[in-house]
């Protein structure tokens, strides 16, 4: 039984799941940074009309994420209260993490994949026939080796690095994770001081993977995970870079800060047993000008911005910065 379900949805259907409009449902939670990536990529590429999206609430118990935001606590398409049921439909008694993002085959009700790293790449490569007009190339062939290299470093030291610190049960593990995290953030500062985006002069998969950690840094990771050498807002280059992306359609308008905070502070009772959710920080500064246009580049290259989110998928009023 796999820890991560590596089955892929491909144009040729070689794993038994061909690309097919309106067959699959992407299950996410706004609180989760790994799921947030898939929400952004789906939106940037204009796949909303061919891949539906189910939204879990910000909190869950030890069993799985639940659809408590939906009427009756049941997903209106899958007709289940917990994503766990889609996992069990394919792998009875699935013993590993019941995670989001996950893609479910609607006709069978079975989970297809929860391989978050591959899902977004396949959205770019395998679903190309269904991209919107003007969709950006988030994984350009000429830059893939460099994107992969940057992604690996960011994954090890930053995406996973904040969790390594937050869930550390020894001082030694915490100290090593802390040092790796901030060394990599300093490396990113040097890299981004003279270029607008991580790889090339347009937004790529690399920027999306970094953004979903950076946008949670001050609200959650700095305090909750004890990564407190600096706030993101105290690192001028990275702070401006994160705001640049936040202001870009498809990025900031996917962020629900109240759900993010509720998830981390209420679910991780081993770290925060009182489940008290802090009121701060003030989020108004996310709207400050970033000035990164002076570095050149263009968010979508020869493409265009995505349309506004559909009303049913929009972040509730007052939940963004």
**pLDDT confidence band for 8 (50 / 70 / 90):** very high
Residues in the chain: 321
Residue 65 annotated as lining a ligand binding site: yes
Domain spans of the chain? 24-130, 141-300
Question: Read out DSSP for 195-256?
Answer: -SSSSTTS--HHHHHHHHHHTTIIIIIHHHT---S--GGGSHHHHHHHHHHHTSTTTGGG--
What percentage of the chain carries pLDDT values higher than 70?
99
Q: Are 205 and 120 in contact (CB under 8 A)?
A: yes
CATH code for the structural domain at 141-300: 1.20.1050.10
CATH fold of the domain at 24-130: Glutaredoxin (3.40.30)
265 in active site: no
Q: How many other CB atoms are there within 10 angstroms of residue 311's CB atom? A: 6
Question: pLDDT per residue over 92-113, tens digit each?
Answer: 999 999 999 999 999 999 999 9
Q: Is the dihedral of CA 267, 271, 276, 282 positive or negative?
A: negative
> Residue 300: which of 183, 175, 208, 186 has the closest Cα?
208
What are 174-233's pLDDT values in tens digits? 999 999 999 999 999 999 999 999 999 999 999 999 999 999 999 999 999 999 999 999
Q: Which of 88, 142, 147 is nearest to 120 (CA)?
A: 147
pLDDT band at 34 (very low <50, low <70, confident <90, very high): very high
Task: State the pLDDT confidence band at 2, using cuts at 50, 70 and 90.
Answer: low
Mean pLDDT of the chain: 97
Q: Which range (3-7, 72-76, 191-195, 270-274) has the least confidence?
A: 3-7
Active site residue 165: no
Question: Does residue 1 have a pLDDT over 70?
Answer: no
Model-level pTM? 0.98
């Amino acid at each position: 039984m796999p820890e991560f379900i590596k089955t892929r949805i491909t144009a040729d259907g070689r794993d038994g799941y061909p690309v097919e409009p309106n067959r699959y449902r992407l299950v996410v939670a706004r609180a989760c940074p790994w799921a947030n990536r898939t929400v952004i990529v789906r939106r940037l590429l204009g796949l909303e009309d061919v891949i539906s999206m189910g939204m879990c609430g910000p909190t869950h118990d030890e069993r799985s994420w639940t659809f408590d935001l939906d009427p009756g606590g049941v997903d209106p398409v899958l007709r289940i209260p917990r994503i766990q049921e889609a996992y069990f439909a394919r792998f009875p008694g699935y013993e590993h993490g019941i995670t989001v993002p996950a893609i479910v085959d609607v006709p069978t009700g079975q989970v297809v994949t929860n391989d978050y790293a591959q899902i977004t790449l396949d959205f770019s490569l395998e679903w190309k026939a269904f991209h919107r007009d003007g969709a950006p190339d988030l994984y350009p062939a000429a830059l893939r080796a460099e994107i992969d290299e940057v992604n690996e470093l960011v994954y090890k030291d930053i995406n996973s690095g904040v969790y390594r610190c937050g869930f550390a049960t020894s001082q030694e593990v915490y100290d090593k994770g802390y040092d790796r995290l901030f060394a990599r953030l300093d490396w990113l500062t040097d890299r981004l001081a003279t270029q607008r985006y991580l790889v090339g002069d347009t937004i790529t998969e690399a920027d999306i993977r970094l953004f979903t950690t950076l946008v949670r840094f001050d609200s959650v990771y700095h305090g909750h995970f004890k990564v407190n050498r600096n706030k993101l807002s105290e690192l001028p280059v990275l702070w401006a870079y994160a705001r640049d992306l936040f202001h870009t359609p498809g990025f900031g308008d996917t962020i629900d800060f109240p759900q993010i905070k509720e998830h981390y502070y209420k679910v991780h009772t081993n770290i925060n047993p009182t489940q008290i959710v802090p009121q701060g920080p003030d989020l108004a500064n996310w709207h400050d000008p970033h000035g990164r246009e002076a570095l050149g580049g263009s968010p979508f290259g020869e493409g265009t911005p995505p349309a506004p989110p559909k009303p049913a998928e929009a972040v509730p009023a007052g939940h963004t910065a």
